[in-house]
Amino acid sequence: MKHNPLHSARPNILALEPYSTARDEYTGGEITAWIDANESPFNNGLNRYPDPRHIHLKKLIASLKGVRPEQVFIGGSGSDEAIDIVYRTFCEPAKDNVVSIAPSYGVYKVSADVNNVEFRSVLLNPDFTLDTDRLLEACDSNTKVIWICSPNNPTGNAFPISQILEIADKFSGIVAVDEAYTDFSSEPSMLKYIDSHPNIIVLQTFSKAWGLASLRVGMAFATAEIAEIFGKVKYPYNLNGPTQIEIAHRINESISKKVSDIIGMRNQMASELKRCKNVEEVFPSDANFLLIRVKDADAMYNHLIKGGVIVRNRTSQPLCHNCLRITIGTQEENDLTLKLFNSYE
Ligand SMILES: *Cc1c(COP(=O)(O)O)cnc(C)c1O
């Protein structure tokens, strides 16, 4: 067993005395008058502070994901909050650095810049596969985190679990695996490795397969020790009450039919785009979107807009020259998009 990954956390964070809310301090039995938190006494459904420790929701999420409640962190600004808390916990500003694959999700770099942490990116291979040796060579003794988005945004492919485990075995800092699209993937989640590999943190979200982007709820799964520190670093009431209630309801719904419908439409869309003369390449996808290469991405992008369809132009991203990223929509939206691709002259 390797050294405890918590030793690479910032000393001020390890020493942190967290803010103690009124709701934290009293956890005993029946109370008639809650007059400890300066709330309004008049019940309008929203007058009470919510549970700052998300105890009920953590239990529900833990049983859904097959982990223990102590291994769960919930963010109320989506997984963007979980990304930021990784920086604030592990990276000393103006000293430490992180390493990420490129191209990948833009928030890793923005959050590094906000936290004044050096951001190093390592290009994927031209076919978007991962070169683990080059990734590890970019690390030095001040590298605290390696970011791996799998399935990766915007390329759409998932990396083999064996490669991510190899990185976690060879690197002594945190390996943060962003699995926002894992429900659409043929590659299994890394969740079952957080016990055997205590330096792995898995990020997931309710924004994609769950169809709840508007609620802004993201999750991080890690050792109980790391999740506990995240609980101290977060804003005390980072997840509002209505959102906690809504997620607790929605988590009972099954998403498997919607996920398999999207995967079916994705595969159908991929094969139809491959037959389209205006499309040069359709990259394999383990997500709810397709990355494609066309002859002139800017021109195709404008052509689609004229037809009322907006896709994401990724042509300026590394390795993505003339690439467009297309989210799988409803059948009608996909049909319209295909029609426009075929009508481009
Ligand atoms: C969409 C997405 C997320 C989700 O972000 P939220 O803040 O949870 O909505 C996270 N990571 C990646 C790579 C994404 O594409």
* Long-range CB contact pairs, 106-113, < 8 A, 24+: 107/80, 107/83, 108/83, 108/147, 108/149, 111/80, 111/83, 111/84, 111/87, 112/87
- How far from 109 is each of 59, 117, 119, 255, CA to CA, in Å? 32, 9, 6, 31
- Each residue's pLDDT tens digit, 113-165: 999 999 999 999 999 999 999 999 999 999 999 999 999 999 999 999 999 99
Mean of the per-residue pLDDT values of the chain:
96
- Each residue's pLDDT tens digit, 225-248: 999 999 999 999 999 999 999 999
CA 209–ligand 1 middle distance (angstroms): 11
CA 208–ligand 1 middle distance (angstroms): 8
- Residues 75-87 have a mean pLDDT of 96
Ligand 1, from 178, 204, 219: best to mutate by most atoms within 8 Å of Cβ?
178
Task: Please state the atom number of ligand 1 nearest to the C-alpha of residue 213.
Answer: 9
pLDDT higher than 80, residue 3: no
The predicted structure's pLDDT at residue 295: 97
Rounded (5°) CA angle 62-65-68: 35
Task: Please state the atom number of ligand 1 nearest to the C-alpha of residue 218.
Answer: 8
Q: pLDDT class for 22, splitting at 50, 70, 90?
A: confident
Cα gap 128→317, rounded to integer Å: 13
- Residues 6-20 have a mean pLDDT of 90
- Residues 69-76 have a mean pLDDT of 97
Name the residue at shortest CA distance from atom 3 of ligand 1: 180
φ/ψ of residue 290, rounded to 5: -125, 140
Name the residue at shortest CA distance from atom 15 of ligand 1: 153
180 lines ligand 1 (CB under 6 A): yes
214 lines ligand 1 (CB under 6 A): no
Residue listed under structure tokens 């997840």 = 239
Cα gap 299→34, rounded to integer Å: 62
pTM for the full model? 0.96
Q: pLDDT class for 1, splitting at 50, 70, 90?
A: very low
Cα gap 93→14, rounded to integer Å: 15
pLDDT higher than 70, residue 8: yes
